Amino acid sequence: MTRVFHEQGILFGYRHPQSSATACILSLFQMTNETLNIWTHLLPFWFFVWRLVTALYVIDVQNDSYSWPLLVYMSTSCVYPLVSSCAHTFSSMSKNARHICYFLDYGAVNLFSLGSAIAYCAYSLPDTLVCTTFRDYYLTLAVLNTIISTGLSCYSRFLEVQKPRLCKMLRLLAFAYPYTWDSLPIFYRLFLFPGESAQNEAALYHQKHVAMTLLASFFYSAHLPERLAPGCFDYIGHSHQLFHVCVILATHMQMEAILLDKTVRKEWLLASSGALSLPQIVGAVLLCLVFSLSNIIYFSAVLYRAPEPEPPKKEA
């Protein structure tokens, strides 16, 4: 098994590293070590689509500008689990296909990060940050973070064989710092000064979202439980499956919190700051898409030009 395809603590259940697209699709219904990775995002994708369709049914999309950030957020909530499930499905077609699949996965995660920032900016900022310079530049920096994060996470894949620890550190950093920036208003609201309008039942869901995100980060970085018992969790219960479950639960909690904030704080927010404008929302999303896709295309092209990395030499 090529080292690019091998995961720490996972001994069995790998698909052929040059599978056809048909074989990859059929593997959804076969027990491999990727099967539950796929379904733990594919099923939630349909749940989030249902939530989006339900929201569209009750919102006047053309005239209700206050709801536009919510629709962007809910759309990106559908995109990232779909792209992730596709990445896990087709990642065994070849070494380069595996890298490109996960480049796209990283881009989708960062698009969701921007969607979260847009929703937070519209509905969840604590009272003291609503009419401040922080809010004025919050989305701009969120867009910049998604561009840098996509590039850094894509670059980390080139270090998987020779410098696996550095690879993991860079990838964790690539996802941790955009999340931290996006969540600064939530941390401020939960632990410092929420303000009167932000003291509502959404706070509990924000707390649960933060807790599930931290748990997801733990599973992603620790490779537990499979690292303690290699071969015992190859098919069911390994860290990436647990990571997926925690991420989906975190998104669900986040969505409930944002929906509550949007409803409960509507009157106060519109009176205090007004809704985000269409150019602000569309501009942020387009910049994220253009530059993230440029990163993905660039690193995909580099894959076919770069020489095959040599595995690290073991010390005698």
Q: Give percent of the chain above pLDDT 70.
A: 95
Calculate Rg over the CA atoms of the chain. Answer: 20
Tell me whether residue 313 is in a domain. no
Tell me whether residue 110 is in a domain. yes
- Residue 1's pLDDT band, with cuts at 50, 70 and 90, is very low
Paired tokens of 55: 């929201």
- For residue 226, pLDDT over 50 is answered with yes
| 241 to 28, 37, 234: CA distances (angstroms) | 15, 5, 10
Tell me whether residue 128 is in a domain. yes
DSSP readout, 1-23? --GGG--TT--S-PPPTT--HHH
Tell me whether residue 29 is in a domain. no
- Residue 106's pLDDT band, with cuts at 50, 70 and 90, is very high
Tell me whether residue 124 is in a domain. yes
39-50 per-position pLDDT tens digit: 999 999 999 999
Structural domain of 95: 56-305
- For residue 2, pLDDT over 70 is answered with no
Q: How many domains would you assign to the chain?
A: 1
Q: Which of 26, 51, 52, 22 is nearest to 38 (CA)?
A: 26
271-309 per-position pLDDT tens digit: 988 889 999 999 999 999 999 999 999 999 999 886 665
Separation of alpha carbons 67 and 261, rounded Å: 12
Amino acid letter for position 188:
Y
Separation of alpha carbons 11 and 270, rounded Å: 55
- Residue 14's pLDDT band, with cuts at 50, 70 and 90, is very high
How many residues are present in the chain?
316
Q: Give the model's pLDDT for residue 312.
A: 53
- For residue 316, pLDDT over 90 is answered with no
Q: Give the model's pLDDT for residue 162.
A: 85
Tell me whether residue 45 is in a domain. no
Tell me whether residue 35 is in a domain. no
Tell me whether residue 282 is in a domain. yes
- For residue 156, pLDDT over 80 is answered with yes
114-136 per-position pLDDT tens digit: 999 999 999 999 999 998 999 99
With a threshold of 0.85, does the pTM exceed it? Answer: yes
